Chains A and B, each alone.
Chain A
Amino acid sequence: MKRALRPCLFLWVGIIAMGFPVLAHHGSRISYDMTKMVTVKGVIKEVHFVNPHVYFTFEVKDDQGHVTEWGAETDPPITMIDRYGWSRSYLKAGDEVTVTVWPSKVGAPRGFLAKLVTADGKVTDHTQQLPPQ
């Protein structure tokens, strides 16, 4: 077992050494807390398939019926098309969605999209990616 531990230690050193420049390059979503995620369910209000960030707003109703408007941004269209198979019509007003975001640091109902699940089961999963740029 000790033989197996030594390569593991080297791997950890490598992961840490690689990770810092990667995070330095990509860890720029300065408004968002990348250490935690929040999941809410809502209904899409507006979708903006524009540069440099695709973003959408959606309404979330709490148990008392109070509605809060949330907003989530994600990568630019070129990335959403190539990596996730999105198009301009991927989401539309009225769609029911479950949205997981890295939330705003100041507590606003805004976030960077970590995961999106639509009512018909389509999944966009950012959580297995590098931290967003």
Chain B
Amino acid sequence: MRTLFISATIFIFSLVFSSIAHAQNARRLAPDSLKNAPFDPHDLSGVWWGVLARGANFGLGGTIPPMTPWAVERYKAAKPGLGGSGRAQPLGNDPMMNCDPMGFPRIMFWTNYPIEIVQLPKRTMMFFDWFYTYRTIWTDGRKLPEDPEPRWYGNSVGQWEGDTFVVRSTGFDDRTWLDADGHPHSEDMKLEERYRRVDHNTIEITMTLTDSKAFTKPWLGDTMSLRLADSSVEMREDVCVPSEEQRYKELIRNPAGGATKPN
């Protein structure tokens, strides 16, 4: 019996670790040998893979502040289709499942796909392979607009404070979710992101979300990181195509979830 217990332990332990190692290998990372290579702390350029804090549930993580009644209503109406909160259901109404824009910051948390950062003289661009979209962070000294038109990816300005690149954003379209669990935000949302390159292979990011219409206190997220991708990784054009998603629902998701009878 003891021998069986020990053997089972070793087998399961090996399985767990080999699975994790294999899962991570698919996201090809720059070799660890480069971690201690010299780097410019003001250089964020490159292709990166996002890594969330444990338990972040494809979102900011951290302690979620209490929601206002306005936000509670929206949260109740949101029916997640994935995620680990326990609210997910087979036929949810996650906007992503219609290929509607993920918006910012949620697209940062969809870490199956790489992100490319390009620094230009007066702006920094972030390209997202998922949805094959981008955002512009203006670094030419301009101020945020006072009454911005809401945008899926907001209006953003950035500046260096020491070795931290601080991005402030406003003017977000309130149709996007903040995370896989369906936490809402309003058009009043303001976001501060702080990027710090801590070694050749890693950028650490913290975000603070302030939205008094939706949350009674600012929401400080967990620290997430960007890990430098292997030089072989390219942006692939991973577009979410509405007509393809519709066909997928008809053929797979809806029958599997019990909404329609299969063909």
Contacts and interface: CB of A to CB of B under 8 A. Distances in A.
Interface of A: 1, 4-5, 8, 11-12, 15, 18-19, 21-25, 27-28, 30-32, 46, 48, 50-53, 55, 57, 69, 71-73, 76-79, 82-83, 104-106, 108-111, 128-130, 133
Contact of B255 (A22, A23, A52, A104): A104
B68 to A, nearest CB: 27
A46 B244 CA distance: 13
Contacts of B37: none
| Category for how many chain B residues contact A | 35 or more
B258 A55 contact: no
B55 A48 contact: no
Given A31-B257, A108-B256, A24 B16 contact: no
B19 A130 contact: yes
A82 B28 contact: yes
25 contacts: A5-B5, A15-B16, A22-B20, A24-B55, A24-B57, A25-B57, A25-B84, A30-B257, A31-B253, A31-B256, A48-B247, A51-B240, A52-B240, A52-B245, A53-B248, A53-B252, A77-B236, A78-B236, A82-B26, A82-B27, A83-B25, A106-B257, A109-B262, A110-B256, A130-B23
Contacts of A8: 5-6, 9
A119 B242 CA distance: 33
Contacts of A19: 16
Interface of B: 2, 5-6, 9, 12-13, 15-16, 18-20, 22-23, 25-28, 54-55, 57, 81-84, 88-90, 112-113, 129, 180, 236, 238-241, 244-245, 247-248, 251-253, 255-258, 261-263
Instruction: Kindly name the residue among B9, B54, B55, B239 whose own CB sees the greatest number of chain A CB atoms within 10 A.
Output: B9
Nearest to B25: A83
Contacts of A27: 84
Nearest to A84: B26
B82 A12 contact: no
B238 A77 contact: yes
Given A50-B241, A71-B251, A11 B83 contact: no
Contacts of A130: 19-20, 23
B46 to A, nearest CB: 18
Nearest to A110: B256
A60 to B, nearest CB: 12
Contact of A21 (B2, B54, B238, B261): B54
Contacts of A82: 26-28
B229 to A, nearest CB: 11
A96 B88 CA distance: 35
Residue picked from B15, B19, B25, most chain A C-beta under 10 Å: B19
A52 B257 CA distance: 17
Nearest to B96: A52
A48 B248 contact: yes
B125 to A, nearest CB: 21
Contacts of B89: 30
A25 B24 CA distance: 14
B258 A108 contact: yes
Given A5-B2, A28-B82, A55-B248, A69 B241 contact: no
Contacts of B129: 78
B90 A15 contact: no
A78 B262 contact: no
B1 to A, nearest CB: 10
A4 B1 CA distance: 13
Given A12-B9, A71-B251, 13 more contacts: A11-B13, A15-B12, A19-B16, A25-B55, A28-B81, A30-B81, A32-B256, A51-B241, A55-B252, A71-B262, A79-B26, A82-B28, A105-B258
